[in-house]
Structure 1
């Protein structure tokens, strides 16, 4: 086993001993160790992934200028290469900047292969629905490996109908197919490592897209559309709420005015009744006074 393999093997065993403090038995301790190991490795690689992603994003932005240089010096490859290198230097990027995480990930994968195949006690250990030391007969892990490989790469592809996007899409499909076929023969523990690694990569990509570190990709286009839909939904709700509030305010105003007029009408009615009663009372008094005068006479 190489130096990297020995280092990762010792690190894996350290994590396993830590997990066993909280989890009794190998059925879950090995499975949780693989997941925790994968998370830690991906987090350690995060700064490198961010740098690589920025480099890839710059390369996508420079594609029109690169195409222009290639067309301009199509008969002079040496001059074309010089101008391209000058362009890369001006923008602080490199065509190989996006390949570094992949170049690092495969040695880690090979080291994991060596680690998991060297652990004798893992062959008959069950975790969830599969046996860690055997291929998954339900093919669920295979399907997950294919889907996560494709999706985690697809959201990083440049958007638009251009040769570069088509080439990357074809390579992505082929890569997912190779992983799927390989997973049929590999130990489930290694396939689970790959699936978890892809899921973490997917989460990191979504995070970087939302932070604005990645633009002009399929993932950024999808997330932007979702954000626009959410904004439209919020605006529509706000308009509906304002309309309802206006309607309620109008009804309240109409009710208040109607109540005011009813109160005024009732007041006038009572006032008229009071006047009428007063007039009748005065008429009765006058009549009595006349009667008394007649009697005196």
Structure 2
């Protein structure tokens, strides 16, 4: 983790120096650097994120077929599971396909927890330590005193998960819905005392994920129409 912490710290400082060259005001440069940093991380992880989103979109599409199989073999759970796994194979769906990108992003998130707690913003003219604000946040490297970002983290976490969740009233759909609500509440609780910089990263990450899901869904629909 020390290697990852140091690497991400240097990477962020490099991005910020580039942003600061264009936007010298630190009250804007640090916030914009975090947004750009998030976008670059998403681009680096794009192949895995595309795989995750595609898997979730396909899983949504075959939910009616899964429900039919569950109804057909409701008295034979083992046969039902076999037929569902057969369907997954036929449709090229990996039910665990969404896990790997999430697993990879967790170490990054925890490393950024360290990065944003150790960054010491300085004035580009005087080279003295300063407090950096961004939008409504009075201190970007402390917690959001208005708690707007933590609430946004919960809302965007729920919406991004909802967009990829199975549809319908199946047991799996209900379980996923409950998990999504629980995860959103958990993120609000965790973000309450996180630095605003880290929560800004997470909210931006969720918004990008939502846009990617919409795009992937449209592309999959176009493939079906061809």
Match of 1:32 in 2: 32
Tell whether the 8 Å contact from 2:158 to 2:181 is kept in structure 1 after alignment: yes
Structure 2 unaligned blocks of 5 or more: 123-129
Match of 1:181 in 2: 189
Tell whether the 8 Å contact from 1:69 to 1:83 is kept in structure 2 after alignment: no
Relative CO higher for 1 or 2, CA cutoff 8 Å, sep ≥ 6? 2
Tell whether the 8 Å contact from 1:54 to 1:213 is kept in structure 2 after alignment: no
Pick closer, same or farther for the CA change 1:156–1:92 going to 2, 3 Å: closer
Match of 2:100 in 1: 100
CA displacement 1:14-73 (0-9 Å, x = unmatched)? 101111111214222211110100011112223322222222333441634763797575
**After superposition, where does 1:119-158 map in structure 2 within 5 Å?**
119-121=119-121, 124-130=131-137, 131-158=139-166
**After superposition, where does 1:1-297 map in structure 2 within 5 Å?**
1-60=1-60, 61=62, 63-64=66-67, 67=70, 71=74, 74=77, 87-121=87-121, 124-130=131-137, 131-212=139-220
Pick closer, same or farther for the CA change 1:94–1:211 going to 2, 3 Å: closer
Which structure has the larger Rg over C-alpha atoms?
A: 1
DSSP-derived class of the 1:97 partner: coil
Tell whether the 8 Å contact from 1:58 to 1:93 is kept in structure 2 after alignment: yes
Report the CA distance between 1:13 and its aligned residue.
1.6
In structure 2, C-alpha distance between the alignment counterparts of 1:66 and 1:120, rounded to whole Å: 58
Higher normalized helix content (fraction of residues)? 1
DSSP-derived class of the 1:152 partner: helix
Report the CA distance between 1:92 and its aligned residue.
3.2
In structure 2, C-alpha distance between the alignment counterparts of 1:188 and 1:85, rounded to whole Å: 43
Match of 2:127 in 1: none
Pick closer, same or farther for the CA change 1:159–1:134 going to 2, 3 Å: same
Q: How many residues align?
A: 211
Normalising by structure 1, we get a TM-score of 0.63
CA displacement 1:202-249 (0-9 Å, x = unmatched)? 1111222222359xxxxxxxxxxxxxxxxxxxxxxxxxxxxxxxxxxx
DSSP-derived class of the 1:205 partner: helix
In structure 1, C-alpha distance between the alignment counterparts of 2:116 and 2:154, rounded to whole Å: 21
Report the CA distance between 1:198 and its aligned residue.
0.9
In structure 1, C-alpha distance between the alignment counterparts of 2:54 and 2:24, rounded to whole Å: 43
Tell whether the 8 Å contact from 2:69 to 2:80 is kept in structure 1 after alignment: no
CA displacement 1:91-140 (0-9 Å, x = unmatched)? 43322111122112211111211111121338821111111121111121
